[in-house]
Amino acid sequence: MQIISIIVIVLILIIAVFAIQFIGIYVRAMVANAKVSFLTLIAMRLRKVPPALIVDSRITAIKAGIDLNTDQLEAHYLAGGSVDHVVLALIAADKAEIPLVYDRACAIDLAVKGTGKTVLEAVRTSINPAVIDCPAVGKIDAVARDGIQVRARARVTVRTNLDRFVGGATEETIVARVGEGIVTSIGSADSYKDVLENPDRISKHVLSKGLDANTAFEILSIDIADVDVGSNINAALQTEQAEADKQVAQAKAEVRRAAAVATEHEMAARTQEMQAKVVENEAQIPLAMAEAFRNGNLGIMDYARYQNITADTDMRQTIAEDKEDGHSTKDKRSH
């Protein structure tokens, strides 16, 4: 009997501890007309699910007219989702008359997990459109057909498309596509003046391209916030081309000069070679004369006449050189 009494007392104490632990949650749910049984609360604790979070979230949903049971909320919590954000997102969508079912809200919540965004933020962006700067810093540089650079910055108004949010491209894709559209629009303009006079043509051209396809957003408008003139790219390119052509011409001229110098050196070498041959041939003259003396083909008188002719030739060359030197001196004095 004593053992049975002890067991009963222990069971009563355990039940009392659980009752004290869950009595507040149970009463809160009962008063809010979102009843939850004690067994359900105990099962939540055994599954390591915070009963207060689940019950409070269900109370919030019930009070907003959204019927959610604890099993749905527990399943999303165990999947790693944010139960309170899902409930608040459903309430916000319901008040704004935006169709959003619980399963899609859970899918969006799990999709944005770890990105710093929430399903509640996605719903709020769908209700109140957000503005994205394109680009986030600085301006987009593009060149018109006349070669003048135009720098522009746009502001894109977007609204979350909840049907495409899961698996849809993010804001970075919107910014990249809008930037590409701005560059294309400016590049197709005949003159930079056309862009400055009608900056709205850029936004109309970009908006007509359907840049929000397969993204998590719907583009409502694209407004050109700022546009100004940059540098003259055409003139810069022509200057660079002229400089390149000059360097090519200088290189070709250097090649021709080197070829001329090589030819000059070759001709000088050939001249020296011919002079050596002349000297060699002149050296054969005395030998030939000696041979002629020995053979009797040349006499003393012939040799004397040869000497006289040689001396006369040397004298004439000397006189001619003196005259040339004299003319050179007079020319210098006259100058």
Residue 290 lies in a domain: no
Contact 94, 64 (CB under 8 A): yes
% residues pLDDT > 90 (the chain): 5
Cα–Cα distance, 233 to 257 (Å, whole number):
36
> Last residue of some domain: 111, 127, 143?
127
Tokens linked to 289: 């004369």
C-alpha Rg value of the chain to the nearest Å: 52
Least confident of 124-128, 247-251, 295-299: 295-299
Is there a single domain that holds both residue 68 and residue 44? Answer: yes
Residue 327 lies in a domain: no
The domain in which residue 86 lies consists of: 2-127
Is there a single domain that holds both residue 189 and residue 100? Answer: no
| pTM flag (> 0.75) | no
pLDDT, averaged across the chain? 83
Residue 96 lies in a domain: yes
99-104 average pLDDT score: 88
Q: How many domains does one find in the chain?
A: 2
Cα–Cα distance, 158 to 55 (Å, whole number):
35
Q: How confident is the model at residue 75, as a pLDDT?
A: 92
Residue 172 lies in a domain: yes
Is there a single domain that holds both residue 155 and residue 88? Answer: no
Is there a single domain that holds both residue 139 and residue 123? Answer: no
Is there a single domain that holds both residue 88 and residue 137? Answer: no
Task: Give the CA-trace dihedral at 45, 46, 47, 49, to 10 degrees.
Answer: 10
**How sure is the predictor about 334, in pLDDT bands with cuts at 50, 70 and 90?**
low
Q: How confident is the model at residue 34, as a pLDDT?
A: 82
Is there a single domain that holds both residue 217 and residue 106? Answer: no
Q: How confident is the model at residue 87, as a pLDDT?
A: 92
Is there a single domain that holds both residue 83 and residue 142? Answer: no
Q: How confident is the model at residue 88, as a pLDDT?
A: 92
For 38, residues 6+ apart whose C-beta sits below 8 A from its C-beta are: 18, 19, 22, 26
140 forms beta bridges with: 152
Is there a single domain that holds both residue 123 and residue 150? Answer: no
238-245 average pLDDT score: 86
Q: How confident is the model at residue 324, as a pLDDT?
A: 67
Least confident of 211-220, 236-245, 317-326: 317-326
Is there a single domain that holds both residue 102 and residue 157? Answer: no
> Last residue of some domain: 127, 150, 174?
127
Is there a single domain that holds both residue 38 and residue 137? Answer: no
239-267 average pLDDT score: 89
Residue 272 lies in a domain: no
Residue 247 lies in a domain: no
Cα–Cα distance, 36 to 331 (Å, whole number):
130
> Last residue of some domain: 108, 127, 146?
127
Is there a single domain that holds both residue 111 and residue 66? Answer: yes
Residue 256 lies in a domain: no
Is there a single domain that holds both residue 14 and residue 114? Answer: yes
